[in-house]
Amino acid sequence: MTAYQELYESWLREPSLGASLKAELQKIAGDEKEKEDRFYTELSFGTAGLRGILGAGTNRMNVHVVRRATKGLAQYLKSCGGACGRGVAIAYDSRHMSAEFAKEAALVLAQNGVQVYLFETLHPVPLLSFTVRHFNCIAGIVITASHNPPQYNGYKVYWEDGGQCGPEQAGEILKAILNVPYFTALPMDEAEAIKSGLLRIIGKEVDDAYYAATQTLLQYPALLKEKGKDLKIAYTPLHGSGLVPVVTLLSRVGVSNVSVVKEQELPDGAFPTVKAPNPEDPNALKLAIELAQSIGADVVLGTDPDADRLGVAVRPAGGAFQVLSGNQIGSLLLHYLLSSLFEKGELPKNGLVVKSIVTTRMADAICARFGIQIEDVLTGFRFISEKIEECVRTGEKKFLFGFEESFGFLAGGFSRDKDAVCAAMLLSEACVYYREQGKTLYDVIEEMYRTYGYYKDAVKSYTLMGKEGIERIGGAMRALRQNPPAAFGTLKVEYAEDFTKNERVQAETGTVSPIGLPNSDVLRYFLEGGAWICVRPSGTEPKLKIYIGANAPTQAQTDALLNELTTKADALVRSLLD
């Protein structure tokens, strides 16, 4: 009997296994491939915590996996000396089993003597991140799988600075988890946990503190109070946790004319109106755009289930709505913030903007124009949060804005993760500000292209499920390292970067220099003329992703170049995955 078969049988025999999970395992008794996929490994725990398909098994998200991870976290906290008394904040979104997993995590922590702050209703990632710092917690947990399809859920762990835990902490937490046998992590009785004071239910008082802090990031609050009511917004929370915080914050700052997509208004973990609740997919905003057209809205906003990503659609005067990319939204917000601070004479000389290595280089051009330093970090907002904490700790730089191409934006740093609630507020303010100048956001983007250059970007993803898919992704990355491409289309590779080795190699001379960022399974190629291509496995989904960036003197030239590079990169990756 193989290891996975032994695990399968031991789970079937486990008396504390829930009836529905047991029935699920009995149903696959004759399906060896399915049994192997559920038990050949455990869900990996890393800087993004756990994430996987809901179901029975060690390679699935279920109550026993959540309990075990939580007891491991509790054991790690106990080793941190006095950390348990500082407590852990817990939030959850609208996904299937999110509320149940959140309560189980809270009660397992309580059983292990850890103070817990549990939200009474679903709350998004940015509010959890804010809450960790608000209560001076040692850690935080969010039960979410972000924008993944409905069959997924996840378990994110945050640290005391409000950002997701770092690699060393994740490694130590994983060691503690691995020392916890399955089915041995038990929850405290809920009534007992509340009576003992170890479980504290939180809500409005924390929300109000978050709204008050976030409002201080407005550039022209008086203008918004006076003219905000004239801005007409069509908004969709995509069945997630964004509805209350987004609508509430917008109302508080003066933007009260918000129409919500009725079919997507209420929380629903099945996400029945979309293929996936992901603002990166233009189809996710389809119903919101239809609503916007029917009511004559100025802008369309959409948030994913845990409200850390913001999607936006804009239109030229009298034209059809166009969905913006994450790079366009981030560049627009960055331009608005820096130009507003400059206009008011408040642009700090030590200002800092941070973006990921796969994010548009238009951001570099914007920062150069305003004399603001910009730094690149690895993909994952945790690396941006680390830069914020560094700014706070040293006082040498003032964090202004951070973003990723994957629709994640953050200003100020009250939260230390992507914050679609804050971004919705700032985007709305930008609408009002430019509208006073007779411009739409579409007009402003066109102006930005003329000012900073025509920067266009594309992303392609290849989803490969199961053990076989993971192996094919790994094989493709190995093949690229063994036979690095010399060119993509007509453009030669000038230098290539391998982040697993921290090496940048100049193609013509073979000169090797350090990249200067942490090791990661990433390959990046810089081409003639400033174009670039990056290949990396996703850290949260069974996907291989390629990112392409291009710029040229005209829009037509940029579009043609981007299309050529995307075609060539796609052909190469597909040949390696086949």
pLDDT of residue 559: 94
Q: Is the pLDDT of residue 47 over 80?
A: no
Range in 31-40, 45-54, 190-199 the model is least confident about: 45-54
Asked if 93 and 188 sit in the same domain, the reply is yes
| Spatial distance between the Cα atoms of 507 and 498, rounded to a whole number of angstroms | 13
Those residues with Cβ within 8 angstroms of residue 480's Cβ, 6 or more apart along the chain or in another chain: 523, 535, 576
The answer to whether 379 touches 537, Cβ cutoff 8 Å, is no
The answer to whether 116 touches 70, Cβ cutoff 8 Å, is no
| Higher pLDDT among residues 48 and 193, named by residue | 193
The answer to whether 527 touches 495, Cβ cutoff 8 Å, is no
Mean pLDDT value of segment 370-383: 95
Containing H/E element for 492?
Answer: strand 491-498
Which residue's structure tokens are 């905000």?
228
Coil, helix or strand at residue 541: coil
CB atoms within 10 A of CB 40: 16
Question: How does residue 44 score in pLDDT terms, banded at 50, 70 and 90?
Answer: confident
The answer to whether 432 touches 232, Cβ cutoff 8 Å, is no
CA distances from residue 485 to 61, 141, 295, 356 in whole angstroms, order as listed: 39, 42, 50, 23
pLDDT of residue 402: 98
Q: Is the pLDDT of residue 466 over 80?
A: no
Question: How does residue 470 score in pLDDT terms, banded at 50, 70 and 90?
Answer: confident
For residue 326, which phi and psi values (nearest 5 degrees)?
-60, -35
Those residues with Cβ within 8 angstroms of residue 290's Cβ, 6 or more apart along the chain or in another chain: none
The CATH number of whichever domain residue 72 belongs to comes to: 3.40.120.10
Instruction: Take residue 562 and report the two structure tokens written for it.
Output: 């981007």
CA distances from residue 295 to 227, 261, 436, 499 in whole angstroms, order as listed: 19, 12, 21, 49
Q: Is the pLDDT of residue 578 over 90?
A: no
Q: Is the pLDDT of residue 562 over 90?
A: yes
Mean pLDDT value of segment 302-331: 95
Mean pLDDT value of segment 463-492: 88
Asked if 182 and 76 sit in the same domain, the reply is yes
Q: Is the pLDDT of residue 1 over 90?
A: no
| Higher pLDDT among residues 189 and 166, named by residue | 189
Chain-centroid distance, C-alpha 12: 36
The answer to whether 278 touches 304, Cβ cutoff 8 Å, is yes
Mean pLDDT value of segment 311-322: 92
* pLDDT single digits (tens) 130-182: 999 999 999 999 999 988 889 999 999 999 999 999 888 889 999 999 999 99
Asked if 298 and 430 sit in the same domain, the reply is yes
Asked if 64 and 25 sit in the same domain, the reply is no
Instruction: Take residue 368 and report the two structure tokens written for it.
Output: 């150069």
Mean pLDDT value of segment 57-85: 92
| Higher pLDDT among residues 573 and 424, named by residue | 424
Question: pLDDT exceeding 90 applies to what percent of the chain?
Answer: 86
Asked if 483 and 446 sit in the same domain, the reply is no
Asked if 35 and 51 sit in the same domain, the reply is no
Mean pLDDT score of the chain, rounded to an integer?
94
Range in 88-97, 406-415, 530-539 the model is least confident about: 530-539
Asked if 175 and 265 sit in the same domain, the reply is no
pLDDT of residue 557: 93
Asked if 25 and 108 sit in the same domain, the reply is no
Question: How does residue 540 score in pLDDT terms, banded at 50, 70 and 90?
Answer: low
Give the domain extent around 236: 211-219+226-452
Q: Is the pLDDT of residue 384 over 90?
A: yes
Asked if 194 and 327 sit in the same domain, the reply is no
Note the pTM of the prediction, 2 decimals.
Answer: 0.93
Those residues with Cβ within 8 angstroms of residue 452's Cβ, 6 or more apart along the chain or in another chain: 362, 365, 366, 369
Asked if 297 and 440 sit in the same domain, the reply is yes
How many structural domains is the chain composed of?
A: 4
* pLDDT single digits (tens) 247-300: 999 999 999 999 999 999 999 999 999 998 999 899 999 999 999 999 999 999
Q: Is the pLDDT of residue 513 over 80?
A: yes
Active site residues: 146
The answer to whether 372 touches 353, Cβ cutoff 8 Å, is yes
Mean pLDDT value of segment 214-241: 97
The answer to whether 38 touches 7, Cβ cutoff 8 Å, is no
pLDDT of residue 294: 96
Asked if 88 and 151 sit in the same domain, the reply is yes
Write the DSSP symbol of residue 165.
Answer: P
Asked if 478 and 442 sit in the same domain, the reply is no
